Structure 1
Amino acid sequence: MINQENEWIISHIDTLIDKVNNLPHEDFEGYSPYEMGSLLNFLNDPRSPLKINVLSDKAYKEIPLLNQTCLLMSILEEQENLLLTKVGNLPPKWVKALYVLGPPELAIEMSSKNVIKEQDTIAVQLARIILKIYRLCKQRHNKLSLTHHGKKLLNNKPALLHGILHVLTYQFNWGYFDGYGNFEIGQLGFGFTLVLLAKYGDKPQPAEFYADKYFKAFPQLLIDNNNNSQFRHNKKSLKYCYYFRNFDRYLSYLGLVNITKVPSTLEEKYLIQKTPLFDQLITVVAPQGIGDKV
């Protein structure tokens, strides 16, 4: 049985923990642990300092992955039951139509092949994966078609974009298309990367600038202890993984960053800058923590 003195001690400890969790934290760009917790779940937590805004029709057309997803859904609506290739891929003529809506992919741009297959383009594969995970399409007897849910969302771009972001943030494995074993790098704390871009992205910043701040907030991710990894990675490699997944892949597919390669360097270096679309889509509230920084 808990006596009054023990009740007071427990209450006092809870108060202290709550106070600490509300203090600004230097590693979190001034956000408190509570705010960081809500930031990790920014699409579902109304307390999150990061908000996704509704855009104009013109602005939605600036999001490559959304355009590819919408076109694929329109193709499925028009075809009703799209016959896939013998290996279950999208027909090449539709792959080409989808590919040109996204950022150029180096392997395709350097290839001499006239035919683009689904397995050649990561962005098109990703669009199809998103439709599957979000249950917007179904596959039966080697034919692809829209689900009832897909038909309802066909012309609802705010809902479609929210679905795309939800799949990318919480459901799709970011390590699916690369050889890095730790799928959490970049995906865990994706909202924090968006906060960093909101704060620092007006001017071009080195990719390493963002990687350093990210791993300062999530230092445990610098320990590559995934035994299922095909490769072992050093700190430099893991920082490149963060850049590659966040900026070269998913934020580029969303039209939220511009990447510039730094010329005349011994190793590849990149500058990152947010696009005008970024500030239209994303609003970030300043830290609300009270007290001295931790």
Structure 2
Amino acid sequence: MMILPHIIERILVTAFYPNGVIGLNRLDEGDLEQIPILRQVVCLCRFIREENGPLKLTNTGNLPLKVVREMYLTGVPDWYYTKYPDKRITETDARFVMIARDLATASGIIRKRNNALLMTRKGEKLLADRQLLLETLIRDFVHLFDLSRYDGYESTPGLGFRDAGLSLLVFDRVRRQMPGESLSEMDYAKCYFDMRPDTYLDKRSIDCYLFRTYQNFMEMFGLVTTDQKWNREENRMIMTIQPTPLFDRMIAIRDDYDRIGVRMSPQLKIYTLKITLTGINPPVWRRVQVPSSMLLSDLHYLIQYTMGWEDAHLHEFEKEEVCYTDEVNEELPSVQYGGMMIADLLKESGDRMIYRYDFGDNWEHEVELEEMTVPQKGSVFRVCTEGARKCPPEDCGGVRGYQRMLLILNDPDDPEREEYLNWLGGPYNPDEWKSSLLNLSLHVSADDKETDPRFA
């Protein structure tokens, strides 16, 4: 699953806000009772109310033991207390209890005064409407709360909770695209980091993401169950993740999340571009339809995703021996393309330019403007329409290295074949390409509310 960066940004920013890409359906009281963190917050508020005033904390500022224990029992169980049921449960050792208390405070439901907790007017209002309470908790968890304080991954702030909306979309799409298959945590992690390679630093990034996303966020909100077992063949712990029946009843994902809206104007044209990787035969190519007002920076991302590159190296456009880059290099003659549109370089049918990626392997793509269409208001265009053959793997040595790799893979007796297969992570079929990797649509509208401001 591939999503353009500006769409990822839209998902991250709008999650759980009105008209956002990710939202919540209205639940009945029975469903609301199945959400662990909601039960914990309500439990804490009940204790405060029963005091008929502030709930006094211990001398160290923690919740009384009886409150901690009951909050723990209403939330997600911890393996440690499951193994040692007679162990005394303290707030500092019960992660979900701490999160519930601090999230209730961050959401303005309760507040601390003179080493005691008391209800706020906002909290009283939210307790009277559990649906509104849930919406407040999940939105504030994603956009305001700092989960890194509780898990030892302080070096990766935001990963796994600021992107919770995107993670929900990834989880939903992966399980629907692979029905009936036994999915592991790595299926979801790979899809996520393929879309956001900038967030991957090392294996610790995967561990952090999985822990925060599934064992914290989704379990706390009753969306999944997780289990970990040792796999002898892979010599590692493997986490299985299963959606609860509540997932589909609770989470609402807009069907048009990957829609690109462009405003109608007299100057607007829909460009049909053919992108061909040069030097390879049979050719690797893609055909796309884009607005003439699309920025070169967005065309760069579109080429990356339709071709199948990982955006791990430098790139540039070249037209009439002038190079256009995202960063000015004083050692090389170039023009910074910030704010430039495709129409600034390609103006007539038959016009061509070069898109160059990875200056080491030197992959050159010919970008040809095949056709210009004058759209009508309400027109819908599929962004990626045709293509052929799989993109070469990153860092394989350019055209010569790629051709040598194919010769070795096609020779079962070649001593280097096994080494290449290990490097590739499995079989490589150069003729394979799936247009579903990018299922975007372009909508032409006169309504600014339906328009992506980047293409307005």
User: Smaller-chain TM-score range?
Assistant: 0.7 to 0.9
1:178 is aligned, of 151, 175, 190, to 151
Q: Tell me the SS of whatever aligns to 1:51.
A: strand
Cα deviation per residue 1:220-259 (whole Å; 9 max; x = unaligned)? 1113xxxxxxxxxxx2221111111111112111110121
- Paired letter, 2:253: V
CA separation in 2, counterparts of 1:122 and 1:222? 25
Task: Indicate the residue corresponding to 1:245 in structure 2.
Answer: 212
Structure 1 distance, partners of 2:82, 2:194, is 36
C-alpha separation between the residues in 2 aligned to 1:195 and 1:70? 28
1:210 partnered with 2:188: yes
Tell me whether 1:291 sits opposite 2:383 in the alignment: yes
The AA in structure 2 aligned to 1:291 is: V
Q: Report the Cα distance in structure 1 between the residues aligned to 2:108 and 2:123, rounded to whole angstroms.
A: 7
Q: Which structure 1 residue ranges, 4+ long, deviate > 6 Å from structure 2?
A: none
1:106 matched residue in structure 2: 79
Secondary structure, counterpart of 1:205 in structure 2: coil
Q: Does 1:51 align with 2:29?
A: no
By percentage of residues, which structure has more helix? 1
* Paired residues, number: 254
Distance 1:264 1:184 in 2: 30
Alpha-carbon distance change, 135 to 49 in structure 1, aligned in 2, over 3 angstroms: closer
> Where in structure 2 are the equivalents of 1:70-109 lying within 5 Å?
70-79=42-51, 80-109=53-82
Range with bigger deviation, 34-43 or 163-172: 34-43
CA contact (8 A) 1:201 1:272 kept: no
* Aligned partners of 1:198 and 1:279 also within 8 Å: no
Q: Is the 8 A contact 2:230 2:236 kept in 1?
A: no
Contact 2:81 2:87 in 1 (8 A): no
Question: Following the alignment from structure 1 to structure 2, what is the Cα–Cα distance between the partners of residues 81 and 184?
Answer: 33
Conserved 8 A contact 1:252-1:258: yes
How far did residue 114 of structure 1 move?
A: 3.9
Distance 1:188 1:214, change over 3 A: farther
2:36 aligned with 1:64, yes or no? yes
Query: What SS does the corresponding residue of 2:158 show, helix, strand or coil?
Result: coil
Task: Give, in whole Å, the separation in 1 of the partners of 2:69 and 2:199.
Answer: 37
Structure 2 residue matching 1:145: 3-state secondary structure: strand
How far apart are residue 103 of structure 1 and its match?
A: 1.5
In the other structure, the counterpart of 1:158 is: 131
Is 1:108–1:120's contact at 8 Å kept on the other side of the alignment?
Answer: no
The equivalent of 2:166 in structure 1 is 192
- What is the alpha-carbon root mean square deviation over aligned residues? 2.0
Whole-angstrom distance in 2 between the partners of 1:155 and 1:201: 35
- Kept after mapping to 2: 8 A contact 1:103/1:253: yes
Question: Could you tell me which of 2, 20, 27 is aligned with 2:2?
Answer: 27
Instruction: Measure the CA separation in 2 of the matches of 1:254 and 1:205.
Output: 21
1:280 aligns with one of 223, 239, 249: 249
What letter corresponds to residue 8 of structure 2 in structure 1?
A: M
CA–CA distance in structure 2, aligned partners of residues 96 and 27 of structure 1: 44
Cα distance between partner residues in 2 of 1:261 and 1:117: 25
| Contact 1:83/1:142 (8 A) holds in 2 | yes
The answer to which structure, 1 or 2, has the higher relative contact order (CA under 8 A, 6+ apart) is 1
Q: What letter matches 2:214 in structure 1?
A: F
Secondary structure of 1:176's counterpart equals helix
Compare 193-202 and 117-126 and name the one that shifted more.
193-202
Cross-structure match for 2:200: 222
Question: For 1:206 and 1:49, how far apart are their aligned partners in 2?
Answer: 26
Q: CA deviation at 1:27?
A: 2.5
Q: Equivalents in 2 of 1:75, 1:130: separation in Å?
A: 16
* 1:271 to 2:240 alignment: yes
| Percent identity (aligned) | 26
Query: Is this contact kept in 1: 2:174–2:188, CA < 8 A?
Result: no
Q: Is this contact kept in 2: 1:261–1:270, CA < 8 A?
A: yes
Q: Secondary structure at the match of 1:144?
A: strand
TM-score between both structures, scaled by the size of structure 2: 0.53
Higher mean alpha-carbon deviation, 149-158 vs 262-271, is at 262-271
Alpha-carbon deviation of 1:123? 0.7
Alpha-carbon distance, 1:89 to partner: 0.8
Q: Say which one has the larger Rg.
A: 2
Retained in 2: the 8 A contact 1:256–1:277? yes
Please report how far the alpha carbon of residue 115 of structure 1 lies from its aligned counterpart in structure 2 after TM superposition: 2.4
Q: Which has the higher strand share?
A: 2
Gaps in structure 1 of 5+ consecutive residues? 1-25, 224-234
1:152–1:49 Cα change, 3 Å = closer
